[in-house]
Amino acid sequence: GQNIDQPTEMTATEGAIVQINCTYQTSGFNGLFWYQQHAGEAPTFLSYNVLDGLEEKGRFSSFLSRSKGYSYLLLKELQMKDSASYLCAVVDSNYQLIWGAGTKLIIKP
Amino acid sequence: DAGITQSPRHKVTETGTPVTLRCHQTENHRYMYWYRQDPGHGLRLIHYSYGVKDTDKGEVSDGYSVSRSKTEDFLLTLESATSSQTSVYFCAISEPGQDTSPLHFGNGTRLTVT
């Protein structure tokens, strides 16, 4: 079967750095997305990785290792508004999106 | 932001009644999707459409039907609602061929079946 694993919940402090991991086992791989979802709102696109390595976008970076079936989202200089769920999704060999259950990130002052 | 509107935003209905949710887009994107989101689960695909009158089933399509008579509208119908269909429903659009083809989501419909 296809599987995406993310921690259910994480807590971090305002101003700090947090890394949210995502491991996957899918039939094929055609890219990995990270989305942010604030409570009661729609998911919004953060990043896309298809090649190994780190993609940086302001305070957010996303890393991919295809050989390890592993990605992480790195959030720097955390702000209270970063409190949200972060969803990992993998595009499989049939170009179908397989979604993780999401990681709820709680930011404390 | 992508122009996607879902209606209604909230609905309470009784078991056994039919329910239709509407998704309207102004982006002229070819692909449209219906997902449901439940605690402890990832987003699960119900149905999707790749063009007018072209639709296909997702992983949780039982009890649901869809129609797309115009590019901009994608309707999701629960023929006879059950309590297991209580969920938050998201519509999404994409245009394959654009850089990364991310999905853009509507604001969701919270459906409660009593």
Residue-wise pLDDT for A93-108, tens only, equals 888 899 999 999 999 9
Answer with the residue of higher pLDDT: B100 or A44: A44
Largest CA distance in chain B: 43
Whether A99 sits inside 8 A of B107 (CB atoms) is no
What is the least distance, in Å, from the CA of A45 to any CA of chain B?
7
Determine the pLDDT at residue A94.
Answer: 85
Residue A8: is its pLDDT beyond 90? yes
Of B40, B44, B102, the CB nearest to A45: B102
Q: What pLDDT, in 10s, does the model give residues B87-104?
A: 999 999 998 765 458 999
Determine the pLDDT at residue A95.
Answer: 84
What is chain A's mean pLDDT, rounded?
96
Q: Which of B68, B106, B108 is nearest to B88 (CA)?
A: B108
Q: Are A98 and B42 in contact (CB under 8 A)?
A: yes
d(CA B38, CA B59): 14
Of B42, B100, B108, the CB nearest to A42: B108
Stretch A18-23: mean pLDDT: 98
Stretch A51-66: mean pLDDT: 96
Chain A residues with beta carbon closer than 8 angstroms to that of B105: 42-44
d(CA B15, CA A98): 30
Largest CA distance in chain A: 43
Q: Residue A59: left if φ>0, alpha if ψ -120 to 50, beta else—which one?
A: alpha
Answer with the residue of higher pLDDT: A92 or B101: A92
What separation in angstroms does the CA of B9 have from each of A77, B79, B80? Answer: 34, 19, 20
Q: Does A1 touch chain B (CB under 8 A)?
A: no
Q: Which regions in chain B score pLDDT beneath 70? A: 1-2, 97-100
d(CA B41, CA B44): 8
Q: Which of A4, A97, A104 to mutate to test the interface with B (most CBs of B within 10 A)?
A: A97
Of A31, A45, A99, the CB nearest to B42: A99
Stretch A57-85: mean pLDDT: 97
d(CA B24, CA B64): 18
Buried b (16+ CB within 10 A) or exposed e, B56-88: eebebbeebbbebeeebebbbebeebeeebbbb
What is the least distance, in Å, from the CA of B98 to any CA of chain A?
13
Of A43, A98, A99, the CB nearest to B105: A43
Determine the pLDDT at residue B97.
Answer: 65
What is the least distance, in Å, from the CA of A46 to any CA of chain B?
9
Q: Which of B61, B91, B100 to mutate to test the interface with A (most CBs of A within 10 A)?
A: B100
Residue A2: is its pLDDT beyond 90? no
Q: What pLDDT, in 10s, does the model give residues A24-38?
A: 999 999 999 999 999
